Chains A and B, each alone.
Chain A
């Protein structure tokens, strides 16, 4: 079992992009609170979520996505069940 294995697709996207174990990714994890989640990684997270769920996220949501929990809330807005 590798470090990013999880059934949670939101967590999986963050784990793959940020390169940290899924177990360390909680809904409270906040943008810029760890060195791995900087502005460049943020855009990569957006791409990963868009790819994962076949959606296109609006710019306001990109900017508002400041925690993993918020990311989950935002992808739900696009009709995704997570």
Chain B
């Protein structure tokens, strides 16, 4: 069993940071479970994984707003592999809207995908990881979770929750040998940030000490490190990847 490829579940693996993390893990020969809204959306990630020679990834199409599907996902992982070594809670949706312009149903959807789904993923992942008394969970937070920004109250609230979730889970799961950390990306060039208005993009770039947006690969490098044994003594940390946006 110990010689088998480590199993890592990555949500939101179809593009951007999630895709970069998947490709990085594939290069390390991990057995990946890739999750996105549809299996078709994972085709580019899958092709990249094939080029690495990693074990054939398991591709799962599911909308994370459907929390009722999460238990079945973990039952499937348990039946196929009997183990889970890593979880990357990457999937999330960005919501932009001033306080007076947020519909209640938008709040429900953002909280379902950005908070409820990762929390349930942690619940089930911890159960599988407990069996081997080891595992690493990486949650994608955001610089907005601690700094906030006008027009991002809903998104920022959801990412602040991810930080609290990470710290609490780290305390609860540390005695079981399971590490839980978060990455707090700054302004990263992805489809998600490409959707921001030009003025908002310019303002954010101006606030970055290093003078440029980060790349998904730069975030993936940190995720890969946190998943690996090189980070064996690191838990309960929120690591900024922001090119000196916060200091």
Contacts and interface: CB of A to CB of B under 8 A. Distances in A.
Contact of A58 (B71, B128, B131): B71
A51 interface: yes
- Could you tell me the dominant secondary structure of chain B's interface residues? helix
Interface in A18-69: 43, 46-47, 50-51, 56-59
Nearest to A51: B131
Contact of B130 (A47, A57, A58, A59): A47
Contacts of A59: 71, 120, 123-124
Given A56-B75, A59-B71, A46 B131 contact: no
A63 B124 CA distance: 13
A58 B71 CA distance: 7
Nearest to B78: A56
Interface string B69-103: 00100110010000000000000000000000000
Q: How large is the interface on A (under 10, 10 to 19, 20 to 34, 35 or more residues)?
A: under 10
Given A56-B78, A59-B123, A59-B124, A47 B71 contact: no
Contacts, number: 20
Interface residues of B, number: 11
Contacts of B120: 59
B127 interface: yes
A48 to B, nearest CB: 10
A46 B130 CA distance: 10
Nearest to B70: A59
A61 to B, nearest CB: 10
A41 to B, nearest CB: 13
A47 B124 CA distance: 12
B15 to A, nearest CB: 30
Contacts of A46: 127
Contacts of A47: 127, 130-131
Interface in B109-149: 120, 123-124, 127-128, 130-131
Contacts of B123: 59
Contacts of B130: 43, 47
Most buried by B among A51, A57, A59: A59
A21 to B, nearest CB: 26
Contacts of A56: 74-75, 78, 127-128
Given A56-B78, A59-B124, A50 B71 contact: no
20 contacts: A43-B130, A46-B127, A47-B127, A47-B130, A47-B131, A50-B127, A50-B131, A51-B131, A56-B74, A56-B75, A56-B78, A56-B127, A56-B128, A57-B127, A58-B71, A58-B75, A59-B71, A59-B120, A59-B123, A59-B124
Given A46-B127, A51-B131, 7 more contacts: A50-B131, A56-B74, A56-B78, A56-B127, A56-B128, A57-B127, A59-B124
Interface of A: 43, 46-47, 50-51, 56-59
List the 8 closest pairs (A to B, CB-CB), nearest first: A56-B78, A58-B71, A47-B130, A56-B75, A51-B131, A59-B123, A59-B71, A56-B74
